[in-house]
Amino acid sequence: MLKKILWLILIIIIVIILYFVAWPVPIDPVAWEAPPNPGYKGPFAVNNRLQGIETFPIADNHGPEDIALDSQGRIYASTHEGRIVRLQSDGSNPENWVDTKGRPLGIDFDRKGNLIVADGFRGLLSIAPDGNITELATTADGVPIRFADDVDVAADGKIYFSDASTKFGAKERGATYEASLLDLMEHGGHGRLLMYNPATGKAKTLLDGLNFANGVAVSHDQNSVLVNETGSYRVVRLWIAGSKKGKVETLIASLPSFPDNISVGRGGRYWVALVSPRNPLVDKLSGKPFVRKVIQRMPAFMRPKAIAYGHIIAIDDKGNVIEDLQDPDGSYPINTSVTETEDFLYIGSLFTPVLGRLKKEKAGLY
């Protein structure tokens, strides 16, 4: 009897080992070297400048990924439920303005008052003031747009947006968060920066090979486009005009957190929302693709995940950190975007059931 039990235990152990070594997973990890983690010191020294955020209900929705204001000062937020929520300028009367039937992420208004939407499930959309939805682009250079993420409209009307991953589509994976975790764990360079030209009605690839292409912002002088490369903890710049046209450079590297969206602020600022602190285990295993594959076979609750920590920074055109606002308690966590107005910072979040707004004066911003 004892011999049978021992054989059974041995078989179970062998099956478990085979599972963790050979069971198919959707990722094929690539070896890379994670940059040094500066930690929370120097320009990223721990502070509580992000505390004191006031919040507003967003109807029966959650996850206000990005926020935009129209010419009347009304507030719009893209939500997990697929709806664009509209609030009055004082944050009152939230209403489900439009349902994209997808997952709207980055949003920005064009000069005609249309809300341009990077929809993670559907591609690039345009929503007219009357709520009518037009699909602008679902492919670029013949490649499907599987994870439209962030968007910014240039002064000349051209629309710059990101396709976070051409391999791990948000719709195919059932959700943007799950798809992002797969892309980050693989680190295969499946992200790209795209540009949609209203004159031709087509989108084309400007930059590829990015590790989870996320936030997009056209520079103050309109000569370059900034892109957050979440998987590499950095912001890159592609020059689209001037003597450096076509060149790519790193604007800021070795961030202490995963950068999500980036937006043009006031006074020469660019706001970068840091969605979650870096995971030491993920960094340590950057050069060990086999181990990362083993981790992917573990139950979801055992894998690395986002940590609730509030953090946004502002950088200048040279990549210098000029503002750093944190909330270590994570009372309004997993920050995904920042929209700056004369008096406020509107702050997006991946999970919260409310929209956040911080008075600039309260944070020491002028």
pTM value? 0.95
Contact 21, 294 (CB under 8 A): yes
Q: Is 6 helix (H, G, I), strand (E, B) or coil?
A: helix
**Amino acid of residue 132:** N
Q: ∠ at Cα 278 (277, 282), nearest 5°?
A: 150
Is 125 inside any structural domain?
A: yes
pLDDT band at 359 (very low <50, low <70, confident <90, very high): very high
pLDDT (0 to 100) of residue 12: 75
Sign of CA dihedral 173, 177, 182, 188: positive
d(CA 187, CA 181): 10
Q: Is residue 255 part of a domain?
A: yes
CATH number at residue 294: 2.120.10.30
Task: Average the pLDDT over 123-145 and give the result.
Answer: 98
Average pLDDT score over the chain:
95
d(C-alpha 128, C-alpha 181), whole Å: 33
pLDDT of residue 18: 66
In a domain, 172, yes or no: yes
User: Does residue 95 surpass a pLDDT of 80?
Assistant: yes
Q: Which domain holds residue 246?
A: 2-41+76-260+277-307
Integer angstrom CA distances of residue 287 from 33, 122, 208, 212, 291: 6, 34, 22, 18, 9
Average pLDDT (146-156) is: 98
Residue 188 lies in a domain: yes
* Token pair recorded at residue 149: 């993420």
Asked, for residue 336, whether it belongs to a domain, the answer is: no
Domain count along the chain? 1
On the question of pLDDT at 10 being above 80, the answer is no
pLDDT at 298: 87
Q: What is the pLDDT of residue 14?
A: 73
